[in-house]
């Protein structure tokens, strides 16, 4: 068998094309890392498989670029016997619909936010608790820990095979109504509270209710039109998602709240997984982990750059200082009182111990 060692398509170039927007004076893409070289032997012939993967984000997102790398690994190490057709931009439905398609076997793979998957593994709701993960390093430590693996294993028996975590990132607030520097700005006081789109996730709803907003669950694919038409004032997502989804076209204000760190979960239909030969299963798992590492790297590179690009494109962004963040943390304490007992106080304590250890390394 042949040993592969080669680089794949320069994905940074693809991102540059998608993010150009015709603004020659502005940088078209961050200085993205090249995908790592593909290494390893070509596997034996265990049949041919064409996998369909769907998710919500655009072709310029770190999720898409790393998914192309995942596909390239499988194709290279099986000499094309495993291929992956990727459907971004919610073409096949929202996160909930696509996970249901995995269960029925009508879709092979999807890549939702962990927040959309808490109905399958309730422990994933720990990631939704506000300000639990103070740094990306702490979040990665949790995702790569035994606690993180037990959450992935929790999908067993649901019809879904969870392969790995990667990074959606820190959620930030954007809106079209007013600058937000404090919880009082969210609640409105003398004016109405902000209507903020959230995922269909009860912890997220509780966060925005505690802040005095009017949270509105909505599918991601419907969000741009809803903001454009004034159905909702704003939303919360990582800067990279806000940029690659062109939300700055309908959102005047952003606030760097970093209130929740959300992972992605790469997952496969159990029906598809069970059709794969054991050697192919091992390859899929390995490729998932390699592409997740690359996705986290790309997401890190995109984050601050995306915020700066949003400012360059006209969004007024507020960077909160420590005292302002503390005001938000205090305002959302009722979320912990309500949800810590439901999620599991022992689990939260384990996560806090991992976070503390990561901060002391």
pLDDT, tens only, 180-229: 999 999 998 666 899 999 988 899 999 999 999 999 999 888 999 999 99
pLDDT of residue 6: 52
The helix (run of H) or strand (run of E) holding residue 325 is helix 322-331
pLDDT of residue 3: 55
| Residue 18 or 340, more confident | 340
Alpha-carbon separation of residue 347 from 122, 135, 154, 344 (angstroms): 11, 19, 14, 5
Residue 20 CA to residue 134 CA, distance in Å, equals 32
Least confident of 7-11, 60-64, 122-126, 150-154: 7-11
The helix (run of H) or strand (run of E) holding residue 109 is strand 109-110
pLDDT of residue 190: 64
pLDDT, tens only, 95-114: 999 999 999 999 999 999 99
Least confident of 11-20, 210-219, 234-243: 11-20
| Number of other CB atoms surrounding residue 20 within 10 Å | 14
Nearest to 69 by CA among 51, 84, 58, 55: 84
Mean of the pLDDT values across residues 344-358?
A: 96
Residue 345 CA to residue 153 CA, distance in Å, equals 20
pLDDT of residue 60: 86
User: HSE (CB half, 13 Å, CA atoms) of 150?
Assistant: 10
Domains of the chain by range and CATH?
Answer: 172-260+313-360 (3.40.190.170)
Mean of the pLDDT values across residues 234-252?
A: 94
pLDDT of residue 331: 97
Contact 170/139 with Cβ under 8 angstroms? no
pLDDT of residue 268: 98
Contact 55/110 with Cβ under 8 angstroms? yes
Contact 132/139 with Cβ under 8 angstroms? no
Alpha-carbon separation of residue 102 from 13, 268, 313 (angstroms): 32, 7, 38
Contact 239/318 with Cβ under 8 angstroms? no
Name the average pLDDT for the chain: 91
Band of the pLDDT at 28, cuts 50, 70, 90? low
């Amino acid at each position: 068998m042949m040993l592969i060692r080669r680089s794949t398509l320069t994905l940074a170039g693809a991102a540059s094309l998608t993010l150009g927007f015709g603004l020659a004076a502005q940088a078209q893409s961050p200085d993205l890392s090249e995908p790592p070289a593909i290494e390893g032997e070509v596997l034996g012939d265990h049949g041919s498989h064409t996998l369909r993967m769907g998710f919500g984000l655009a072709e310029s997102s770190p999720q898409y670029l790393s998914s192309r790398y995942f596909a390239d690994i499988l194709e290279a190490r099986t000499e094309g016997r495993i291929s992956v057709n990727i459907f971004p931009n919610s073409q096949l439905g929202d996160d909930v619909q696509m996970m249901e398609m995995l269960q029925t076997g009508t879709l092979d793979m999807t890549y939702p936010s962990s927040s959309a998957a808490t109905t399958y593994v309730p422990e994933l709701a720990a990631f939704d608790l506000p300000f639990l993960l103070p740094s990306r390093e702490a979040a990665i430590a949790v995702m790569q820990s035994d606690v993180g693996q037990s959450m992935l294993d929790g999908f067993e028996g649901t019809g879904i095979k969870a392969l790995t975590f990667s990074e959606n990132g820190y959620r930030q607030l954007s809106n079209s109504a007013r600058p937000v520097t404090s919880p009082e700005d969210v609640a409105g006081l003398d004016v109405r509270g902000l209507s903020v789109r959230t995922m269909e996730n009860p912890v997220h709803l509780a966060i925005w209710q505690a802040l005095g907003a009017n949270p509105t669950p909505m599918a991601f694919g419907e969000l741009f039109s809803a903001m454009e038409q004034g159905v909702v004032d704003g939303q919360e997502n990582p800067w990279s998602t806000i940029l690659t989804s062109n939300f700055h076209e309908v959102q005047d204000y952003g606030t760097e709240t970093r209130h929740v760190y959300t992972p992605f979960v790469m997952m496969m239909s159990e029906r598809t997984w069970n059709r794969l030969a054991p050697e192919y299963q091992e390859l899929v798992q390995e490729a998932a982990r390699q592409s997740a590492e690359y996705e986290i790297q790309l997401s890190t590179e995109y984050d601050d750059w995306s915020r700066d690009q949003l400012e360059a494109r006209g969004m007024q962004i507020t960077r909160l200082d420590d005292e302002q963040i503390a005001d938000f943390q205090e305002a959302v304490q009722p979320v912990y009182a309500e949800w810590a007992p439901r999620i599991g106080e022992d689990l939260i304590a384990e996560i806090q111990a991992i976070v503390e250890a990561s901060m002391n390394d």
